[in-house]
Structure 1
Amino acid sequence: MIIGVVSDTHIGGRIKNLPQELLDGLRGVDLIIHAGDILKDYVIYELEEIAPVEAVAGNNDDYYMHDRLGIKKILNVGEFKIGITHGAGGATALKRAMAVFAKDKVDCVIFGHSHAPYNEKIDGVLYVNPGSPTDKRMQKQYSYAVLKVDDSGISAEIRYF
């Protein structure tokens, strides 16, 4: 299974649309995960035109999005469990994401918030932050991620544009 991963799209303020590079890069995936700070729900509908979407709300999402999506999910993908959270809070996004799933048995944690891409295995768990396809902040490029899930495990690739 191939899973597209995005976070921190922040659509609706100064950013009006998902970039074509992202949409083109996601074509052909089996599932899309959005790790929060979506802002406008039509982003989910646009992504659903490509593949089914699983999403959580981020700290910039309104009460409607929080109520609709929640802030933590665990997906079963084949034999593996993938945790999704935004990663906002007092600690770094990575530490917060680790804390959210500290009592859960997951193989991978998807998080966002920092807008900084991250792809590393720690104590047997793959942690992936796709960065942002619309607001790169201090990063050199915009980014998203692609997960590959098969019998051998879960791997991730950060894609830059």
Structure 2
Amino acid sequence: MPSIFRIGVLSDTHMPRMAKKLPNELLKGLQSVDLIIHAGDWSNESVYEALQEIAPVEGVAGNADSEGIIERFGLSKLLLIEGHRLGIVHGHGTKGTTESRAINTFADQKVDCIIFGHSHIPVMKQIGDVLLFNPGSPTDKRRQSHFSYGIIELNNGVLNAQHVFYENKND
């Protein structure tokens, strides 16, 4: 394993409705990652296949995904990577906010970071010992000013996350 383990984080690709292909800016940014995590609403399994050509892929299904994607990935999962416990969930549902649903999914488990999607709104906030991280969307920014994805770096027991923003999904 490298001394710094890099994870590309994305959600809500909604392909092919929101984009015919993954944006070049995203693909360039993922070239140096060791793992890719997708937090749901792939909308098409071709997204998995394209990402798998870059790095191993983990993920969960969202509310816009088919039964096949739900069966393949499940609705939530907990990954242990480099000593860090990463919870992944899309965050859809009917009670509370997207953030509260994501937090409640892992309420009975020890996690260092909860990765979620659904809202298309980039979020990075610390709640106690847990980092809450939504990468936004690389293809469907909705009311956001930019398209986005995330990078999480695990380095000697330290977890650092950042958003990567860009303006054009077609470049």
Secondary structure in 2 matching 1:24 = helix
In the alignment, which of 67, 71, 75 is matched to residue 67 of structure 1? 71
Alignment of 1:14-29 (within 5 A): 14-29=18-33
Match of 2:133 among 122, 128, 132: 128
Question: What whole-Å deviation, never above 9, does each CA across 1:15-39 have from its counterpart, x for those lacking one?
Answer: 2111111001111100000000001
In the other structure, the counterpart of 2:83 is: 79
Query: Whole-Å Cα distance in 2 between the matches of residues 55 and 135 of structure 1?
Result: 18
CA deviation string 1:118-139 (max 9, x = no partner): 0111011011000000000010
Alignment match of 2:51 (pick from 47, 53, 63): 47
User: Unpaired segments of 5 or more residues in structure 2?
Assistant: 167-171
Normalised by the length of structure 1, the TM-score is 0.97
User: What letter corresponds to residue 41 of structure 1 in structure 2?
Assistant: E
The root-mean-square deviation of aligned C-alpha atoms, in Å, is: 0.8
How many Å apart are 1:13 and its aligned residue?
2.0
Aligned-partner residue type, residue 121 of structure 1: Q
**Once the 2 structures are TM-superposed, how far is the Cα of residue 12 of structure 1 from its aligned partner?**
1.9
What does residue range 108-127 of structure 1 map to in structure 2 within 5 Å? 108-127=113-132
SS at match of 1:146: strand
Q: Distance in 2 between matches of 1:27 and 1:14?
A: 22
Query: Could you tell me which amino acid in structure 1 is paired with residue 132 of structure 2?
Result: Y
Deviation of 1:152 (Å): 3.5
Note the alpha carbon deviations across 1:84-141, whole angstroms, 9 max, x for none: 0000012211111000000011111100000000011101101100000000001000
Deviation at 1:14?
4.4
Distance 1:13 1:144 in 2: 18
* Cα deviations by residue, 1:47-84 (Å, 9 ceiling, x for unpaired): 01110000100000011111111001111111111000
- Secondary structure at the counterpart of residue 99 of structure 2: helix
> 2:100 corresponds to which residue?
95
Instruction: Give the drift of 1:150.
Output: 1.7
In percent, how many aligned pairs have the same letter? 48
Gaps of 5+ in 1: none
Q: How many residues matched?
A: 161
Q: Distance in 1 between matches of 2:146 and 2:70?
A: 29
Q: What corresponds to 2:8 in structure 1?
A: 4
Choose which of 154, 157, 160 in structure 1 pairs with 2:159.
154
